[in-house]
Amino acid sequence: MKKTYINGVGCISTQKTFDTVFLEEAVYNQKDTVFTLVKPEYKEYVSPAASRRMAKGVKNGIVASALAMKDSNTEKVDAIITGTGMGCIEDSDRFLKNILDNNEEFLTPTSFIQSTHNTVGAQIALLMQCKGYNFTYVNGVVSFESALLDAKLQIEEEEASSILVGGIDENTDYTMSLYKLAGFVKNDQETPFDVLKETSTGVVYGEGASFFVLENERKESTYAQILDVEIINSLEENEVETEILAFLKTNNLQISDIDAVVLGFNGDAHFDSYYKNLARNTFAQTPQLYYKHLSGEFNTASAFGLWIASKVIQTQEIPNIIKVNSVEKPAYNTILLYNQYKGKNHSFTLLSK
């Protein structure tokens, strides 16, 4: 059975995660409830004429995938697999608004065509002329993990040797206004926000696109090996530790073998207790990292978490801005990522140097 290696990464996020080494320009924004994207120079990757017709999620996906391909020195992949929670919500909003504004008459189909969730994967394939397997997972907060699991299985079974995998989500003013009404987003009056010390519900939202070139061979550009990915729909707080121990045992590991754990703290006091229990007990002697205070929460934020973990293994350094505790290890060779949202859709991802 073939092994799965991360040989290239590309990330567009609410931080400067391109043209940098690793978060040296990161800023912890504690004032805004919705983070805005740090935009790359789109015209370097997409012609201005085409760019004007593209939603920002599509453009971010194209740039992040191009960065990952360049990073891995790969020109062609066998498959493109993407994960997204909300898809191209900007075009969906635009099309629905046009329906209302025009009394359901004289509608142009452009926004509707570009609003489908698989638009990002399709546009990347068109630009790369990739005619292979192209699939998009829309599974809420495990959309990216579903894509990752699919890619890993295909490489293990030798159905593909090189796969581009990504997680993309965008936010819009209208959708965020609905989320605020529903109580999903923090109240503006509660600033400054401190993700690790929050006592209120709701989260700070973000957006972004993170892509990874997965291949069946080690290269000079290799970041890490993906050992295992697991998704569980529902767990009680007291079941998480047992599940993690079983997950590690499957891979012939135990808690002491984990050099760092990346936890999905998002500042929602109702559900961050899942992470706090692990931080206080199971991983008390393990370096703990978090990332959603930099990226914001969104359906595929865990892809940003994987980018963080990959960079830690590659650089063997943990920037202070992502540290939860002060525990350190001499080397970071095995990293566990754990994420959940509102107590549902738990995911575990295991990386090794």
Domain ranges (residues) in the chain: 5-215, 224-352
Mean predicted confidence (pLDDT) in 136-142: 95
* Whole-number pLDDT of residue 105: 84
Residue 111 confidence (pLDDT) above 80: no
Structure token pair of residue 257: 């073998």
Band (92; pLDDT cuts 50, 70, 90):
confident
**What's the pLDDT tens digit per position in 269-300?**
999 999 999 999 999 999 999 999 999 999 99
Average pLDDT, the chain: 93
Structure token pair of residue 75: 């020109």
- Contact between residue 210 and residue 291 where contact means Cβ atoms under 8 Å apart: no
C-alpha 293 chain-centroid distance: 13
DSSP 190: G
Structure token pair of residue 325: 């505790």
**What's the pLDDT tens digit per position in 15-62?**
999 988 899 999 999 999 999 999 999 989 988 888 888 888 999 999
Q: Which amino acid is at 118?
A: N
Q: Can you spell out the DSSP letters for 20-79?
A: SSSSTT-----S-SBPPP----GGGTS-HHHHHTS-HHHHHHHHHHHHHHHHHT-S--SE
5-215 and 224-352 have identical folds: yes
For 224-352, which CATH superfamily applies? Answer: Thiolase/Chalcone synthase (3.40.47.10)
Tokens 């909300």 belong to residue: 86
Q: Higher pLDDT residue, 112 or 137?
A: 137
**Start-to-end Cα distance in the chain:** 18
- Contact between residue 206 and residue 301 where contact means Cβ atoms under 8 Å apart: yes
DSSP 116: S
* Whole-number pLDDT of residue 102: 87
Taken as a whole, the chain contains a residue count of: 353
Listed residue (124, 99, 101) closest to 111, CA to CA: 99
The whole-model pTM stands at 0.94
- Contact between residue 177 and residue 93 where contact means Cβ atoms under 8 Å apart: no
- Give the Cα separation of 47 and 54 in Å (integer): 11
- 3.30.360.10, 1.10.10.10, 3.30.2350.10, 3.40.47.10: which CATH number matches 5-215? 3.40.47.10
Listed residue (84, 39, 32, 10) closest to 293, CA to CA: 32
What are φ and ψ of residue 293, in 5° steps? Answer: -70, -15
